[in-house]
Amino acid sequence: MDLHEQKILILDFGSQYTQNIARKVRECQVYCEIHPCTWSLENIRQFAPKGIILSGGPASVLEREAPLLDRRVLELGVPVLGICYGMQILTHLLMGRVDPAPEREFGRAELMVKEFSHLFDGVRNKSTVWMSHGDRISRLPEGFRSTAFTDNSPIAAIEHPIHKLYGLQFHPEVVHTQEGLRILQNFIYKICNVRPEWKMESLVDFTIEQIRKQVGNGKVLCALSGGVDSSVVAVLLHKAIGERLTCIFIDNGVLRTGERQKVAETFREHFHINLIVVDAIDRFLDKLKDVVDPEQKRKIIGNTFIEVFEEEARRLGEHEFLAQGTLYPDVIESVSFKGGPSAVIKSHHNVGGLPEKMHLKLVEPLRELFKDEVRALGREMDVPDEVISRQPFPGPGLAIRVIGAVTKERLDILRLADKIILDEIKAAGLYKKIWQSFAVLLPVKTVGVMGDARTYENVIALRAVNSTDGMTADWVHLPYELLGRISNRIINEVQGVNRVCYDISSKPPGTIEWE
């Protein structure tokens, strides 16, 4: 079965929500790809989509430099759904009229469905939708009809049922639109007649087959971190090529408690994967000595990782391929909300510099997947839940959570405090409900009293945030009792700490990590 046969094309006009559209389509178990609105007609024909979605965007069709669409795309006989700016482009190209709205509509609105439409099949007559627009349609193109409205948008949904052209002034892809998923399902299943074939059980076999085609009889190296992406890549490759896969795990000295042991146990003993563990702790810490600038820390760790990996690869002998956990959001260049369409497909190396220096061919089995799909794929292959549900951990590790100079002693303090935080959050049943939770060792000391003695010791900051993609984040309102337990344990069990603070900053204005 070709899992790419039943597919939807998303043409991007610069919306901050474009990846949300793709995630929702994938949630419908249908394959889709995002391409810029400037993608050529020939490319679209070759891609052969069963349906096309036009994203929103920050521009106005009334502007001279507004991004446009080749009108011939609307004549391919393929169903088209325009969202927000996408609907206005449809209207503009087909000789309808778009005018500035009396007032910009941003946020929740009540949608009223007034006409039967396959797009609204099974959708309540009145529901909440999410609006974000400054223009609105004042005259429909010939042959179109209006099927829904809101208080500020007399024309909130349009369609040409014969040519299967549809438009929505609101965003069905965001969580605030109550019936958004149902509307997208109606477009995909009922209007485009697409079958839901993008399923994890099929995807495992399909991906293994693709790996075997690419690699042939070659040997593959995989840099294994123990995180979700590299772990799923390693298991997929092992299923595909067995002993011809060699994984390299580099202990850089800035890992969490027991990380090295867990990786060895999971991949050597559970999956029987050929794993080489390289102890490079002293090498990394020597290079980090007296370095306080966070960017310098990142560069040192990244460059040293490449050096160590290269040396190990040379020692192992001939390998043709390097496996990486590149994901679909990595492949699409991030969209500039103010700058308009910029979703250009790019070559993305998440182990910077390795392929160029080592002349290895890249194997990227996850490059078509979003993070939630990678987790689902891992579960399908029985990757332990502890790995699949792991909270994000930065590449530079604890080095950017020790604020200031990194030493073995300061790392040991942070490691134990971090373990206590994670243990308590897991015991409270909150670990899987939180995006990230961790400790930060601050570069200040404070006065305290322990027993009858005065102390002058370190401060630990506790950080816990919720997010969907790491781009924005809110601090978590942890129960006071839990905060109290964490604080008491850290102060009593971690030598050299006499104060614990809780960071209640959101992103923006703060970042998730302190460095």
Q: What is the pLDDT along the chain (515 residues), one digit of tens a residue?
A: 567 889 999 999 988 888 889 989 999 999 999 999 999 999 999 999 999 999 999 888 888 888 999 999 999 999 999 999 999 999 999 999 988 887 777 788 999 999 899 999 999 999 999 988 888 898 999 999 999 999 888 999 999 999 999 999 999 998 889 999 999 999 999 999 999 998 888 889 989 999 999 999 999 999 999 899 999 999 999 999 999 999 999 999 999 999 999 999 999 988 999 999 999 999 999 999 999 999 999 999 999 999 999 999 989 888 899 998 888 877 775 433 333 444 333 233 344 455 566 678 889 999 888 888 999 999 999 999 999 999 989 889 999 999 999 999 999 999 999 999 999 999 999 999 999 999 999 999 999 988 878 999 999 999 999 987 777 789 999 999 999 999 999 999 999 999 999 999 998 888 899 99
Angle at 80 between CA 76 and CA 85, to 5 degrees: 125
Instruction: Please tell me the predicted confidence (pLDDT) of residue 345.
Output: 33
- One of 3.40.50.280, 1.10.3720.10, 3.40.190.10, 3.40.50.620 is the CATH number of 200-388, namely 3.40.50.620
Instruction: Please tell me the predicted confidence (pLDDT) of residue 330.
Output: 75
Instruction: Please tell me the predicted confidence (pLDDT) of residue 346.
Output: 29
- CATH code: domain 401-502 is 3.30.300.10
Identify the active-site residue in 33, 159, 173, 515.
173
Where are the CATH 3.40.50.880 domain residues in the chain? 7-191
In 3D space, the residue among 395, 414, 313, 308 whose CA is nearest the CA of residue 350 turns out to be 395
Residue 358 and residue 313 in contact, taking contact as beta carbons nearer than 8 Å: yes
What's the rounded Cα separation, in Å, for the pair 246 and 319? 9
Where are the CATH 3.30.300.10 domain residues in the chain? 401-502
Instruction: Please tell me the predicted confidence (pLDDT) of residue 354.
Output: 55
Q: How many residues does the chain have?
A: 515
The tokens describing 460, both together, are 């630990």
**Residue 173 is a catalytic residue:** yes
The tokens describing 345, both together, are 């497909």
Residue 156 and residue 82 in contact, taking contact as beta carbons nearer than 8 Å: no
**Residue 28 is a catalytic residue:** no
Q: Any idea which architecture 7-191 has in CATH?
A: 3-Layer(aba) Sandwich (3.40)
The tokens describing 204, both together, are 């495992």
Identify the active-site residue in 32, 37, 84, 247.
84
Query: If 0-12 CB within 10 Å is exposed, 13-18 middle and 19+ buried, where does residue 335 land?
Result: buried
Identify the active-site residue in 92, 133, 160, 171.
171
Where are the CATH 3.40.50.620 domain residues in the chain? 200-388
- The H or E element that residue 137 is part of is strand 126-139
Residue 97 and residue 173 in contact, taking contact as beta carbons nearer than 8 Å: no
**Residue 513 is a catalytic residue:** no
